[in-house]
Structure 1
Amino acid sequence: MPIGGDPDRYPHRDEVVAYLTAYAARLQTDIHTGRRVSAVRADGAGFTVELEGGG
């Protein structure tokens, strides 16, 4: 998914926030922040993500 804005400069903060918000909505999944990932493993057609401390 391309990020908006001027291609001749780095994106501004608000452009990155808008991009990530749109990307999360497109995925139609829950996004959790503030958690550290300890492992990511291929799982068939997707992935399994393990978090530090479980969950």
Structure 2
Amino acid sequence: MKYTGEIVQIQDDSDITIIRLAVTEDSYGYNYNDIIWVEYEGYTDFIDEDIVTVY
């Protein structure tokens, strides 16, 4: 699966990065009512409000 969205919240914890990602785009940006949970092994330089694509 492939999702593109805006990072609502990001947290590094014990070698894992946890991201809450808003994935539904509307006329005002990304809808914060449609969130997916992403766990990434390792750390990233991403911050809140970055637009990212995950696979």
User: Which structure carries more helix by proportion?
Assistant: 1
- TM-score using structure 2 length: 0.34
Please identify the structure whose Cα radius of gyration is greater. 1
User: Which structure carries more strand by proportion?
Assistant: 2
- TM-score using structure 1 length: 0.34
